[in-house]
Chains A and B, each alone.
Chain A
Amino acid sequence: MVVLRAGLCPGLSEDMIQLLRANGIRTVVDFVSSDLEDVAQKCSLSYKALVAVRRVLLAQFSAFPANGADLYEELKSSTAILPTGSPSLDQLLDSGLYTGEVTELMGAPGSGKTQVCLGIAASVSLGLKQHVLFLDSTGGFTASRLYQMLRAQTEDEEEQAILGRLRLCFVLQLEALQRIQVVRVFSIYELLSALQELRDRLSQQVVSSMGPLKMVVLDSVSAVIYPLLGGRQSEGLALMMQLSRELKTLAREFSLAVVVTNQVTRDSSTGPLKPALGRSWSFVPSTRVLLEGKEAAWEKATTQRVASLAKSPRQPTGIQVELDIG
């Protein structure tokens, strides 16, 4: 629904637009779907000029069909699989996080979603030396915990380094920390601004601060959307769909892996747990993982969690693995 403006394409002059507008044709869709002979008569414009403009507009604004084989080639060359740093989680996700897709982690409070996100960010930054963008909307990002995880991961590789072990580990950890950018967004508009800014940077290919970005983590999406949903307003749903479109196009266009965390709610106080944000959001992520604690009561402290696959395009659902977030 783009408004016709002078200069939108060669041949579309200001007078032409005024004449068209006087007859009720204001957007590209109106122009392309109207009968050109009729328009030529009513607006006293030349038919040939109108046909030329229409051809250019169609070329500019329509989508082109792509060959399945071409798509497959493109997919093979541009998709990467990022290991999450936890072998059991990799097994659940069919060897890791796929770029170009949105993956969702959901769970009750205290089930370990932020911990798993931190672990994945640490592993991608340290192991693959790729940049990570962490969008924090709950205030749960703790850099000291991230540092702890990085230390735990480098100490495993320490056995292989020969000289200057401690120094090298420390340098590696610092570099890994620098590759993780954290942006705190506490409302939906801030989040959308941050995503727009990311898109501008990536399309201008500003290499200085971003580097080769491979992953975007959003913790959590329900915290920014919940204040808008419900009641009789449909504004919340509209914004939620805008956000989902932004995330998906970012993932697809720039080959990023997008990880999102979500809450769980119950229908009534005794119903089963179900993911928050409703049916509309359930179509957005391609993979959904549910995190649960092993013990039901909160008197026993444990770092064991159970992750089950709730939705996946590649694996059968219902697979469960055990994770340790300690």
Chain B
Amino acid sequence: MQREVGTLPLAPALRARLAAAGFQTAQELLDTGPCGLSKEIGISREEALEALQVVRQECHGDAARTAGGSGATRRCTALELLEEEQSQGFIITFCSALDNILGGGVQLTKITEICGAPGVGKTQLCMQLAVDVQIPECFGGVAGEAVFIDTEGSFMVDRVVDIAAACVQHCHLIAEAQQEEDHRKALETFSLENILSHIYYFRCRDYVELLAQVYLLPEFLSEHSKVRLVVIDGIAFPFRHDFEDLSLRTRLLNGLAQQLIIIANDYKSAVVLTNQMTTRIGQSQSTLVPALGESWGHAATVRLIFHWDNSQRLATLYKSPSQKESTIAYHITPHGFRDVQPPAAAHSTEGTEMNPRKRPRTEEEKQ
């Protein structure tokens, strides 16, 4: 009840007027009542009523929490959090080396950022994850749905069909090997049409649409409560061109980051973002660094950087709260994202060395 007026979520003009009139604590506001308030500050009765409602909500929230109710705050002891984390699933990527360095896969309730040069495989991984999140629990997945927000237009449905078909095939093989009842039951619903119908696709053309989409996402997620993955493919693209006011960009990006963390936390889903790389020119050399500036680096909880080493694709875990930094190699096959095969069995993949940057659409172009 002793909340200062300055700490309440009111409009700045209203706050300035309240301070000028001499109100200091929330209790004083509540005591004055809407008529008195509108007379003192010179606002209409409706505005005074609204303001008082906000104040009452905040104070009752505080009082309920102090009395011991859980309210809307997300408070718990570290022990409870540990139990929650240990029972949480991961979204596997089908590349066991990558899953290992991530500690099991892409974690739910955290933001993972994938940075890389063009053609290194960021969108491929996003599409793989959109399929993998739907793997039924008996096969080790989280049985969720996916939201795919595309800003660059790089989502290719036929590629997703390939990846999904390979995934279903993989699960069929496991079910045949293990011969268990729930595997067979799960496979009835895990089919190509089902997978595709559970990927919700949004196309955003500029940053305003992207921001609007992210702010409307909580409503969408409360209707579709099975969503466990939100992918934003190309968060850098709408913010990198056409922005004159850089401080506005920083503010919008940070607001976006906070909104995404709230979504990840409240709806228990993983948020995956892809970022571009830019060149930082130092004194004697230039290095590739993730785009969008220094402050954006703090937005993601886990940061993966994909890069090239001659013709081998490498992934480095650059920032993680629980895993060490390490680098692994991965491969992109017609079936999707996979581990690098040991050299003896790699003869069939020689064709990709001819054109390592982007895999050609048709098979005839490779020799």
* Chain A interface (Cβ < 8 Å from any Cβ of B): 1-3, 5, 26-27, 108-110, 114-115, 134, 137-148, 174, 177-187, 189-190, 192-194, 196-197, 200-201, 204, 206, 208-209, 220, 222-224, 226-231, 233-235, 238-239, 242, 246, 263-266, 269-270, 273, 276, 297-299, 301-303, 326
Q: Are A177 and B78 in contact (CB under 8 A)?
A: yes
Q: Is the CB of B325 within 8 A of A27?
A: no
Chain B residues within an 8 Å CB radius of A242: 4, 6-7
A144-B85 contact in complex given A177-B79, A189-B9, A193-B58, C-beta closer than 8 Å: yes
Per-position binary interface string of chain B over residues 283-311, scored 1 when its CB falls under 8 Å from any chain A CB and 0 otherwise: 00001000001110111010101000000
Kindly state whether residue B31 has any CB partner on chain A within 8 Å.
Answer: yes
Set of chain B residues within 8 Å of A5, measured between Cβ atoms: 28, 31
> Measured between C-beta atoms, what is the minimum distance from B20 to chain A in Å?
8
Chain A residues with CB under 8 Å of B23's CB are: 3
Taking CB atoms, residues of chain A closer than 8 Å to B362 are none
Could you say which residues of chain B place their CB within 8 Å of the CB of A137? 258
Q: What sequence of 0s and 1s flags, for each residue 246-270 of chain B, a beta carbon within 8 Å of any chain A beta carbon?
A: 0110110011011001101100000
Indicate with 1 or 0, residue by residue over B305-342, a CB within 8 angstroms of chain A CB atoms.
10000000000101101101111000000000000000
- A229 near B251 with CB under 8 A, answer yes
What residues of chain A lie closer than 8 Å to B73, measured between beta carbons?
183-185, 190, 193-194, 197
Which of A146, A148, A206, A230 contacts B248 (CB under 8 A)? Answer: A230
| Residues on the A chain within 8 Å of B78, using CB | 134, 143, 146, 177-178, 180-182
How many angstroms from the CA of A270 to the CA of B15 in the assembled complex? 40
> Which residues in window 1-28 of B have CB below 8 A to A?
2-4, 6-9, 12, 15, 19, 21-24, 28
| Identity of the chain B residue whose Cβ is nearest the Cβ of A229 in the assembled complex | B251
The chain B residue with its CB closest to the CB of A206 is B66
A193/B61 in contact, CB under 8 A: yes
Chain A residues with CB under 8 A of B81: 141, 143, 182
Which of chain A's residues has its CB closest to B314's CB? A299
Nearest residue (CB) in A for B110 is A139
Q: How far is the CA of A234 from the CA of B16 in the complex (A)?
A: 11
B297 A200 Cβ-Cβ under 8 A = no
> Please, how many angstroms separate the alpha-carbon atoms of A128 and B319 in the complex?
30
Q: Are B247 and A142 in contact (CB under 8 A)?
A: no
B346 interface hit (Cβ, 8 Å)? no
Is there contact, CB below 8 Å, between A299 and B327?
A: yes
Q: Are B297 and A109 in contact (CB under 8 A)?
A: yes
Q: Are A298 and B316 in contact (CB under 8 A)?
A: yes
Q: Is the CB of B66 within 8 A of A204?
A: yes
Find the B residue at minimum CB distance from A139. Answer: B261
Name which residue of chain A comes closest to B319, CB basis: A110
Q: Across the interface, do B319 and A200 meet the contact criterion of CB distance under 8 Å?
A: no
Please, which residues of chain A bring their CB within 8 A of the CB of B85? 142-144
* Set B245, B287, B321: member contacting A141, Cβ < 8 A: B321
Assess whether A109 is in contact with B77, with CB atoms less than 8 Å apart: no
Q: Is B357 an interface residue (CB 8 A)?
A: no
> Which listed residue, B19, B22, B82, B287, touches A297 by the CB 8 Å rule?
B287
Q: In the complex, what residues of A have CB within 8 A of residue B251's CB?
A: 226-231
